[in-house]
């Protein structure tokens, strides 16, 4: 009887190795060793390295808190939850996403993993669209509005990953949302 593989653990390991090493230096041997599985099993199940990485990224991002932001009638609470979930997801997987974005132009076999980012962004844009439709946020393209909300978080995250000084301050989700709402609240 074949040994059962902890796919969640395998995917977490795959994403971690990919984030640390980049696509070219990531090996299925290293993933297999860290995950405690046989490398041949990885090839039987996932074929090429790119397929394993694409599958792992889709899995972990679909299970992230940023993928599960709910909509209520409270725009401040919803946007604060969205910012918190973005920060949490970026702390967990931001290194892998940054590596993916850097490696895709040179490794087109990773393009399928880019699709893993879209459901989370579309869900988050849906939160903004609901508040735009409800008159709680100014009208506009929800994806552009989402970019306006998370761009400062993205920049802070990239800066923090460099280890440069000055140290990036901790994100205050309530403050980010208050600043955002200053310019994006619906005017009556």
pLDDT in tens, 97-106: 999 999 999 9
Residues 115, 46: one domain?
A: no
Contacts 24+ apart (CB under 8 A), 143-146: 145/184, 146/121
Give per-residue pLDDT as tens, 40-78.
999 999 999 999 999 999 999 999 999 999 999 999 999
Residues 68, 57: one domain?
A: no
pLDDT number for residue 188? 62
- Domain extent, residue 13, equals 7-61
pLDDT number for residue 186? 67
Contact, 93 vs 120, CB < 8 A?
no
CATH code: domain of residue 162: 1.10.357.10
Residues 42, 128: one domain?
A: no
Residues 21, 112: one domain?
A: no
Q: Which residues contact 65 (CB under 8 A, 6 or more apart)?
A: 84, 85, 88, 89
pLDDT number for residue 96? 93
Q: Report how far residue 129's alpha carbon sits from residue 148's, in angstroms, rounded to the nearest whole number.
A: 14
Provide the pLDDT confidence category of residue 183 given band limits of 50, 70 and 90.
confident
């Amino acid at each position: 009887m074949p040994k059962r593989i902890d796919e969640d653990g395998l995917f977490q390991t795959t994403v971690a190795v990919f984030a640390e090493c980049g696509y070219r230096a990531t090996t299925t041997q290293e993933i297999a060793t860290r995950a405690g599985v046989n490398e041949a099993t990885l090839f039987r199940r996932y074929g090429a390295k790119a397929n394993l990485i694409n599958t792992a990224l889709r899995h972990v991002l679909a299970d992230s808190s940023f993928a599960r932001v709910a909509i209520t009638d409270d725009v401040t609470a919803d946007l604060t939850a969205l910012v918190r979930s973005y920060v949490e997801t970026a702390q967990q997987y931001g290194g892998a996403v940054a590596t993916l974005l850097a490696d895709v132009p040179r490794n087109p076999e990773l393009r399928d993993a880019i699709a893993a980012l879209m459901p989370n962004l579309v869900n988050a844009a849906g939160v903004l669209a609901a508040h735009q439709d409800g008159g709680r946020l100014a009208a506009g393209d929800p994806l552009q509005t989402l970019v306006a909300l998370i761009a400062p978080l993205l920049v802070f995250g990239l800066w923090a990953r460099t280890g440069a000084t000055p140290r990036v301050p901790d994100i205050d989700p309530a403050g980010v949302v208050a600043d955002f709402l200053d310019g994006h609240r619906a005017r009556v």
